[in-house]
Structure 1
């Protein structure tokens, strides 16, 4: 299974032109039909959620199980490179920083307070605004940001790394089809696969960048009084995308690596400050408790489809999240593969699946847990005040309807994090934390944009990991345009509906790559077959030569 000599060198004109045409048509469609585009997105996404929810939920859980099997199986020793003694390009800590910054940065900052608040107010399993609801809210948030989304990234990274680094095929999505169609991946079939991947990847990157810009604008408005408007958001997109293009021009080894490490340091600083001045004991307890609840209920949560009541909650959350992660899977998976050459299958799955999940749980516990504790304190104070008022006036003032953070979240999810900061320990510190959060969002925006731009360029350049600088600039402009039109079309709701639609074709790809990867990986030599002949455990039982055990021999 080796690539033809001389095929797919330089820019692939078919993929480059066709993908740009599709994306430009999408941009024009939204600009021309701005008032109706959001309605079209909503109609089609509702249809997919109603009829295909079972498929996306089952697929993601299946991927988690498949990766867990590969990690502990005999295939875990396989090194994702041509030679079994190759070393990884990046050290472990630089690798972890880059894959986390490229994978979840903006979304995790955005939802770290907002999502627990929404689940605390209402979820299908407990009564809202209770202690039980607080525990359940963290369990559900862990579920949406844990092993399941990262498994989508890892399966793409693993398949691309295996077929490209191990088998010498192009570093593009067409290579996952090789076991099915053979050399025809270099023709129209391969072009279609790459075109779809490019279009979905560009959209997936842009939708989260637009999410980040909206939250940065909210933070600036709350801290400095800068108006929340399309003009402000447009300026932010232009500024941050310009910086991102400069970073991607400098390459992975410099700009992207350094910015990713900066992100991790700034994230750590923010976590330590909130942990120190917030409800520390509560946060540590809820981290332990929520992790245990998550692990105990992982299978049941992963297969739950709200069959009986079909309340709509799951369609708004889980069934939205999974397609959203799928739109990110080509980009993040390719980026993880790009920085993971030389690692074994076990290292890639263990590092890129478990380590970011633990980091995400810590982040969610610190910010989401702090917000929950403040809400509970306000609820207790309200109940005490209500009891006193009722005793004096004999008037029932009603049930607790939520504290400052929850009410701010219901009004605008982008304000949840900044409202938490305002309530931590004084206005000055709250403003400082808000500024740090805006800086963090901006740097996550840049690292997501530059790593995403690099991946799009690699796809255009037929798998060349060092694509031309001109195409890097062009893709930076296109991503900025898509992010802008998504905000123009209706902000968060338009992004949400479009994510569900765009994620569906990628789910088919993910299913196919799981099948082709397993088919190919089963044909790898067994670990004992790769040992020198003099230590082979079956040597005395072999009558003839053992050329078939030569580690240099790999069957197609």
Structure 2
């Protein structure tokens, strides 16, 4: 039970104390022995990705298929709440919060960078820096940001919403596993261990993305102003964003987080429309259509492709790595999606999470990635003309990439801002800095949204599923997440935590499978109980 008095009033003492001790110990380890920690976790994550790649592929695809089954089955009509209960948030607010917490900042970062890396070479293209590699680059990027990622988020979200809002249990991971392990074990240390694991992984996942995001924001500021942020100013930036996130999370989901999410969606649409209008519009529209078609045709094959013959590192550090990275975010995003989805049916939740956000992601990737590939194509043609006109030979005649690809190879965080420079050059309009400023602002607000929703989730789990954790707990966890990010950025330990998070993805994947089994058992029990009640009612009606 949650504490009701003392310093830890309103939270579960076991979860709070143990998870805080683990986090502090890990931060100290990474700060003092950063290089050694990086080597240890890098080697361990490499071994896990190599030996358990098959598990990630089967698990992610199996979860997706099961969710699609639930969407079209009789279970789809079940309300995540009392029968007849209405959704807590409007559809627009719900979708905005869902997308902001789930994909927003990642898409802003990788929508240009990932297609560039695949354009430079991927297993599905026999050539590099070519039309063939450009087409396969978009198909692979669509796949990595498609339904599998959202399925990994949606599985814990659906389980948490069902057991909490329909069965009246606390909003915690342990509640979803009760049908398999029983109430007694889940109320004891076994249940606490599940919640502690999720709290620690969630806190580090948010802090790591926080730190990496500050690095990208620093690149944006340098691009716009020429001023390079030192470590001290980066720390101040973390502190400022943490304070805004804490104020937002204390104000509650229906105020701060909802308003920020709506703002994120509005600003995202403005930037998206600008890139589509002032960039290579025709190329972008064709890329969106072609990429979506390629995804639909190849999704099954790519889902189960394990590179058996070559067993190269590419898939381990792209597809398998992505599935593992999504898993580290799944408990956090899943808990938040569940928190905002009360009153919706299973069918509405699955459709809303698997279809609408995925289609928007495709439009976003097709727009930014397509624009970048178009400019790369133009740079390649220009280089070929230069080779012919000047008679260049040897290394000088070799095309190693255009401006955006070269910038991506030098510093991945600069790819987005280099794209804006190319749009300005091609359109003849002085909009590069404006787009860069809007993107930097969007980075900040996306990080605030991720930080405050993540803080809410961690404090909810620490309060053993209480959806309204005490304000002091929200503030404390908000400060802790910021402190983790600052400490790791200072010590250079961000990479260590990132690889360590990938190691934690394996047990989380196992937990997701257990959650799916527990949910299906509960759904079958509810269906049998409903059928028995209907039969009894029919018999009474016949007798009367």
Check whether the contact 1:245–1:472 (CA below 8 A) recurs between aligned residues: yes
Partners in 2 of 1:420 and 1:77 — Cα distance? 45
Task: Give 2:177's aligned residue.
Answer: 177
What is residue 334 of structure 2 aligned with on the other side?
A: 333
Deviates more, 1:266-275 or 1:397-406: 397-406
In the alignment, is the contact (CA less than 8 A) between 2:104 and 2:446 conserved in 1? yes
Within 1, Cα distance between the matches of 2:503 and 2:229? 28
1: CA distance between counterparts of 2:440 and 2:68? 36
2:405 pairs with 1:406: yes
C-alpha spacing 1:491/1:430, structure 2 compared with 1 (3 Å): farther
* Farther off after superposition, 36-45 or 251-260: 36-45
Residue 263 of structure 1: aligned partner: 264
Per the alignment, residue 40 of structure 2 pairs with 40
User: Kindly tell me: are residues 32 and 394 of structure 1, through their superposed partners in 2, closer, same or farther at Cα, counting changes over 3 Å?
Assistant: closer
- Cα separation, 2, equivalents of 1:322 and 1:271: 26
**Paired residue secondary structure (2:355):** helix
Residues of 1 paired with 2:162 and 2:349: CA distance? 11
Shifted more, 252-261 versus 223-232: the winner is 223-232
Asked whether the 8 Å contact 1:120–1:134 carries over to 2, the reply is: yes
Give the Cα–Cα distance (whole angstroms) in 1 for the partners of residues 25 and 393 of structure 2.
Answer: 65
Instruction: Give 1:233 deviation, angstroms.
Output: 2.1
CA contact (8 A) 1:106 1:209 kept: no
Which segment drifts farther, 68-77 or 302-311? Answer: 302-311
* Structure 2 residue aligned with 1:147: 147
The one of 436, 439, 442 equivalent to 1:440 is 442
Supply the distance in 1 between the matched residues of 2:112 and 2:282 (Cα, whole angstroms): 18
Distance 2:382 2:497 in 1: 38
Q: CA deviation at 1:508?
A: 1.3
Query: What is the 5 A alignment of 1:535-546?
Result: 544-545=539-540
Deviations 1:298-320 (A, max 9, x none): 11111111111122111121111
Cα separation, 2, equivalents of 1:318 and 1:519: 31
Other-structure match for 2:417: 418
Q: Is the 8 A contact 2:201 2:501 kept in 1?
A: no
- Whole-Å separation in 1 of the counterparts to 2:335 and 2:30: 28
Measured on the aligned residues, the alpha-carbon RMSD in Å equals 2.3
Map 1:112-261 to 2 at 5 A.
Answer: 112-126=111-125, 127-184=127-184, 185-261=186-262
Q: Determine the C-alpha separation between the residues in 1 that align with 2:529 and 2:398.
A: 64
Match in the other structure for 1:93? 92
Quote the Cα distance in structure 2 between the aligned partners of 1:410 and 1:238. Answer: 30
Q: Residues 489 and 299 from structure 1, CA distance in 2 versus in 1: closer, same or farther, beyond 3 angstroms? A: farther
Does the CA-based 8 Å contact 2:177-2:518 persist in structure 1?
A: yes
Gaps of 5+ in 1: 548-556
C-alpha separation in 2, matches of 1:239 and 1:20: 23
Correspondence for 2:75: 75
Greater mean deviation of Cα atoms: 501-510 or 69-78 = 501-510
Moved more, 427-436 or 112-121: 427-436
Q: CA deviation at 1:229?
A: 3.6
Q: Secondary structure at the match of 2:469?
A: coil
Ranges in structure 2 where 5+ consecutive residues have no aligned partner: none
3-state SS of the aligned residue for 2:343?
A: coil
Give the superposition deviation at 1:389: 2.4
Quote the Cα distance in structure 2 between the aligned partners of 1:58 and 1:254: 39
CA distance 1:213–1:522, shift in 2 (3 Å): same
What SS does the corresponding residue of 1:545 show, helix, strand or coil?
A: helix
TM-score when scaled to structure 2? 0.94
Q: Paired residues, what number?
A: 533
| TM-score after normalising by structure 1 | 0.92
